[in-house]
Amino acid sequence: MIHVRDVTKEFNTSEGTVRALDQVTLEIPRGSVVTLMGPSGSGKTTLLNMISGLDKPTSGTISVDKRVINTLTVDELNAFRRKIGFVFQRFALIPTASAYENMEYALRISDIPRQEWDARIMQTLAQLDMREHAHHRPGELSGGQQQRVAVARALAISPQIIIADEPTANLDAQRGAAVLGLLRELGSQHITVVISTHDPVATKYATHICKMRGGHIESFGPINDGAL
């Protein structure tokens, strides 16, 4: 369970204070696949960064399995983050490293034994139809291929939570559906998945929909089977 309680996040800029999140409260049950939707600037990335412990709220608390994460020490936070797979909006792949090596870096900071790395990397790349590109660097890959490497990197570490910021933004409909299908499968394995997206099709793969607007939660709730 991810519990976001009364979270406000403000950024100080040269033009004054921007309130990116305004008293957001949200309870995400384990194994949910949540699509976070809302206009550009509504606070989706900011909320994902709070949940993953990449940034701290100005006020309010975030807890994961009853553990408050925004007051953890640096070491505790690093341990917590080992259980999270991130797919960043701008991929954040290491440009000088191949797809394979990018995944190796993620595994290096995970708890997964080294002897499992190669099989995991190749299997996960295969799931994303990227096996033949294992030894290509990001600059040698298309935007959609880089995006699939970023998804593979997040999946390879067997995370408890996947936080994916617009993971299908650079994919065609078929590739996008494949990625969303994979994420949906994780939900059924009790992994919690939170996906920010502008793609209404993504809701077909979700168990819950969260709509944001102007730093507020406009609506949040489960999708009833058959309702879509």
Q: How far apart are CA 228 and CA 215, in angstroms?
A: 26
Q: Which residue has the tokens 């065609």?
A: 172
User: What is the number of residues in the chain?
Assistant: 228
Q: How far apart are CA 210 and CA 222, in angstroms?
A: 9
By CB under 6 A, residue 133 contacts ligand ATP: no
Would you call 98 helix, strand, or coil by DSSP?
A: coil
Binding mask 30-49 for Mg ion (x = CB under 5 A): --------------xx----
Q: How far apart are CA 171 and CA 157, in angstroms?
A: 23
The one of Mg ion, ligand ATP, none whose footprint includes residue 11, by CB under 5 to 8 A per kind, is ligand ATP
By CB under 5 A, residue 147 contacts Mg ion: no
CB of 196 to Mg ion, least distance (A): 6
CB of 60 to Mg ion, least distance (A): 20
Our CB check for ligand ATP shows the closer of 38 and 138 to be 38
Half-sphere exposure of 180 (CA within 13 A, CB side): 25
C-beta nearest to Mg ion: residue: 45
Our CB check for ligand ATP shows the closer of 88 and 117 to be 88
Burial class (CB in 10 A: 0-12, 13-18, 19+), 16: exposed
Our CB check for ligand ATP shows the closer of 10 and 185 to be 10
Binding mask 62-101 for ligand ATP (x = CB under 6 A): ---------------------------x------------
Give the chain's count of helices (H) and strands (E): 6, 10
CA-based angle 201:207:209, to the nearest 5?
65
Give the footprint of ligand ATP on residues 13-52 (CB under 6 A).
13, 18, 20, 38, 40-46
Where does this chain bind ligand ATP (CB under 6 A)? 11, 13, 18, 20, 38, 40-46, 89
